[in-house]
Amino acid sequence: KAGVTQTPRYLIKTRGQQVTLSCSPISGHRSVSWYQQTPGQGLQFLFEYFSETQRNKGNFPGRFSGRQFSNSRSEMNVSTLELGDSALYLCASSSRPGMRQPQHFGDGTRLSIL
Amino acid sequence: GQQLNQSPQSMFIQEGEDVSMNCTSSSIFNTWLWYKQDPGEGPVLLIALYKAGELTSNGRLTAQFGITRKDSFLNISASIPSDVGIYFCAGPPDTGNQFYFGTGTSLTVIP
């Protein structure tokens, strides 16, 4: 079974730009969650999508948004990038929705803001 | 917001030794998940716990859901070099729709 695939693996942007990250879940998984990982703040939950609907949301500003398509693939968008947005962005999928479900992670997209 | 504190923050042990680490929260959790993350990779699920007092094993790994529901423990027996990595506890509090990761325990195994 193919794992969670995130693209691109690395990305360099400048302040003020916007970026879109992509996540393809494990085949058959319909729930996708996004996380931000930084040395200072650790792993923080961004949001969860299931059946194209956002179910849960973490404490991030509105510049962070996401969506899920009918094939369960998900994208995350960050607008007006700030230096502090430099991080590893991880996507995880699970077969069912909800915060109690074990999640399977991709290897992340490393975003660097110059 | 919720903070999951893991201790110790880092460990340096000899190959073959047993390892114990724990995770504590200020809120009651209804699920505890333990993950391991290697450099350059995403976290990998090790063990999932769903009931207070539950004890679950996965090979040399054993984890327990604390009776107070505010803590969890992970033990690794007879450590080997490939156990090196960062171990995270994670889960949702009993109330709310958030998901939290612990601060992590970095494990180094000396051959």
Mutate to test the interface with B, among A46, A94, A100, A107 (most CBs of B within 10 A): A100
**How many whole angstroms separate alpha carbon B99 and alpha carbon B93?**
7
B107 with B19: CB under 8 angstroms?
yes
Our CA-based measurement puts residue A92 at a distance from the nearest CA of chain B, in whole angstroms, of: 9
Which range, A21-25, A38-42, A52-56, has the best average confidence (pLDDT)? A21-25
Lowest mean pLDDT of B47-51, B79-83, B97-101, name the range: B97-101
- A-contacting residues in B 65-104 (Cβ below 8 Å): 88, 90-92, 97-104
- pLDDT digit string, tens, across residues B7-47: 999 999 999 999 999 999 999 998 999 999 998 899 999 99
pLDDT for the residue numbered B98: 83
Instruction: Report, as an integer, the average pLDDT of A54-75.
Output: 95
More confident residue, B80 or A102: B80
Point out the residue among B43, B45, B97 whose CB comes nearest to the CB of A99. Answer: B97
- Cβ distance A99 to B1 less than 8 Å, yes or no, reads no
CA separation, residue B97 to residues A82, B30, B52, B88 (Å) = 27, 12, 20, 19
Note whether B45 contacts A: Cβ–Cβ < 8 A.
yes
- Report the phi/psi class of residue B85: left, alpha or beta, with left for phi > 0 and alpha for psi in -120 to 50: left
CA separation, residue A4 to residues A64, A103, B59 (Å) = 21, 10, 24
- Cβ distance B101 to A44 less than 8 Å, yes or no, reads yes
Band the pLDDT of B1: cuts 50, 70, 90.
Answer: low
Q: Which helix (H) or strand (E) holds B101?
A: strand B100-101
Residue carrying structure tokens 């959790």: B29
pLDDT over threshold 90, residue A73: yes
